[in-house]
Structure 1
Amino acid sequence: MTATAHETLDLPLTPPPGGQVLHQSARATVIWGDAQDSAVIAQVPAGYGLLATDPPYGANWRSNYAKNFERLAGDDGAVDWPAILAEWVGPEGTRTQGMADKRHVYVFGYRPEQLAGPLRLSATAGLIWDKANTSMGNLSLPWGPGHEVITFGAHYKRRSGRAAGGGQLTARLRQGSVLRVLRPNADAVTRHPTEKPWQLMAQLIESSTVRGDLVVDPCAGSGSTGVAAVLEGRRCFLVEIDRAYAELAVRRVAAAERIAAQIDAA
């Protein structure tokens, strides 16, 4: 029987200051911690290659169907996620903190105009994840949500680079702005209420990184970003505030590492 993410015993409700490393290897780091904690942000290796994340952006997710899932921490719209993610990409003008210059960002749930300023983005684009099915959503409405928006942008440390519109030629693969990847629904949703298919994250990672790059996700949930990064030959740095989900991410990433090791040895 598949267990839900919250079937664990006596877990503390909040992570300690600076977080707690639950898993660390050559391929992956998973931290139980708060993405808003400056001591957690300080642990991210400087010059990383990609920020890909799905923050709890105020949807206040709750389904009458998936009763095993509690409300997601921070999903009440009270957190200024653009400001928090700005700390993750690094301060204005520096080349020694945060992500590397002219590298890419993917953030679910926000539009380019909401993130371009805080995250210092150039060459932004709005992408659509076509889930290939209809989510439950508000059943009183005639239209059910079948997609999510994703903001893409190239992070420029210097204002002059953004003003010049830099970043258009940094992608490795050019493809359409609609990504069609089936979302699990109904009884198949057992790990996390807003889990992203790793195949979807793999498309983003493959388009914007090379093998060995470090992919960062400060709102890791069940770890799909980490799974995709490891299977694509990249490394990952994951942070998740919910202890049960963080432990689930560890198990999934470790399984991906075993597969990656077998591929490397073949």
Structure 2
Amino acid sequence: MSAYLRKEVIGNATLYLGDAVTVMAAIEPLKAAALIGDPPYCSGGFSEAAKRQAKGQGLRSDTLREIEWFGGDNMTTAGLQWLLRATAVMFKRHAASAGSTVTFFCDWRMVAMLAPAIESAGLRLQAMPVWDKQAPGLGTGFRATHECMLHFAIGVPEYHTARYGNIIRSPRASATTREHPTEKPLEVMRVLIEVQTPVDGLVLDPFMGGGSTGVAALGLGRRFVGIEHDPAHFDTACRRIEAAGRSSSLMLGGGAEAA
């Protein structure tokens, strides 16, 4: 039985429909410069019971009606710790070098639990970049205006630009145009890719969602491998990445430099 349900090769991108850990264990080593992923946050409550029973985790009611529950976000803390540690262990098999890096988006409430679990895979915590959304989210009191990222390296990290600091400022993806409930802006993904990968380097995203990492990677002249377990989101990613590949080809064909 195959480790994945579908495989699509779209230009410089290879996309797998299946479970992240299972697919990473089965495919040939990728020699990836970086893993950049946006896993489930599991932040629907402050107790484990609340997380399992959480109904929305801050999503708007119309979004919830559209998507019901987005996959995996009612895991317990232990479940998410296991998933990210297993993903990090598998990435060591796919890393291009000891300088390859790993970056996971992370809710602030989970930082203290997830960072040690990922470190236990043999990675070194290097930094915690922050995405400044430039406007507060839902709620009262000190409303969240940011998301954290946990950034690791297998050994001494290899970086490819010094243009950016650890605060990445970009508005959220527009609710009227986004194609995934937790879609990350391309501006944020481009910064992460530029810092961690060389031109023509390979980016791995084991929690691909709607494909934003792949769209940004192709636009920057990188190669991409994405894994997604939800068939609907996988189809969205295929369509978006195919369109991004066509756009990149037109730019290069017209003599313009890649973004």
Query: Which category of TM-score, normalised to the shorter sequence, fits these structures?
Result: 0.7 to 0.9
Q: Is 1:196–2:184 an aligned residue pair?
A: yes
1:43 equivalent to 2:27? Answer: yes
8 Å Cα contact 1:115/1:121 also seen in 2: no
Q: Please, which of 38, 51, 63 is the counterpart of residue 54 of structure 1?
A: 38
Residues 31 and 238 of structure 1 are in contact (CA less than 8 Å); yes or no, is this contact kept in structure 2? yes
Shift of 1:22: 4.2
One-letter amino acid of the counterpart of residue 255, structure 1 = A
Among 166, 169, 175, the alignment partner of 1:180 is 169
TM superposition score normalised by structure 1: 0.78
Task: Provide the C-alpha distance between the structure 1 equivalents of 2:118 and 2:137, rounded to a whole number of angstroms.
Answer: 29
TM-score when normalising by structure 2: 0.80
Aligned residue for 1:261, secondary structure, equals helix
Specify the code of the residue in structure 1 equivalent to 2:41: Y
Which whole-Å deviations, capped at 9, do the CAs of 1:24-45 have from their partners, x for residues lacking one? 03400111111132x4532153
Task: Give the counterpart of 1:129 among 131, 136, 141.
Answer: 131
Partner of 1:222: 210
Where structure 2 has 5 or more consecutive residues not aligned to the other structure, the ranges are: 45-56, 255-259
What are the residue-to-residue correspondences of 1:1-266 with 2, within 5 Å? 18-37=3-22, 39-43=23-27, 45-60=29-44, 61=57, 62-66=59-63, 67-78=65-76, 79=79, 80-90=82-92, 97-100=93-96, 101-109=98-106, 111=111, 113-114=115-116, 116-122=118-124, 124-136=126-138, 139=139, 141-156=140-155, 166-167=156-157, 170-174=158-162, 175-185=164-174, 187-188=175-176, 190-266=178-254
Deviations 1:174-203 (A, max 9, x none): 221110011035x42641111101121111
SS in structure 2 opposite 1:148? strand
Cα pair 1:35 1:84 within 8 Å, conserved = no
Distance between the aligned counterparts of 2:71 and 2:28, measured in 1? Answer: 22
CA contact (8 A) 2:15 2:225 kept: yes
* Contact 2:179/2:210, CA 8 A, preserved across alignment: yes
Structure 2 CA distance for aligned equivalents of residues 98 and 212 of structure 1: 16
1: CA distance, partners of 2:137 / 2:149: 17
1:236 counterpart SS class:
strand
Higher helix share: 2
CA distance in 2, matches of 1:76, 1:17: 27
- Tell me, what secondary structure is at the counterpart of 2:85? helix
For residues 3 and 154 of structure 2, the distance between their equivalents in structure 1, rounded to whole angstroms, comes to: 26
- 2:36 and 2:170 map into 1 onto residues whose CA distance is 17
Offset at 1:71?
1.3
How big is the alpha-carbon RMSD for the aligned residues of Structure 1 and Structure 2? Answer: 2.1
What is the rounded CA distance, in whole Å, between the counterparts of 2:224 and 2:231 in structure 1?
A: 18
Deviates more, 1:230-239 or 1:53-62: 53-62
- Aligned pair count? 229
Paired with 1:190 and 1:116, the residues of 2 have a C-alpha distance of 30
Q: Any stretches of 5+ residues in structure 1 without a counterpart? A: 1-15, 91-96, 157-165
Give how far 1:118 is off.
3.1
Change (3 A) 1:50 1:40: closer
CA offset digits 1:31-87 (Å, max 9, x no partner)? 1111132x4532153321110001003124343242322211111233323222223
- The percent identity for this pair of structures is 28
The 1:189–1:264 alpha-carbon spacing in structure 2 relative to 1, beyond 3 Å, is: closer
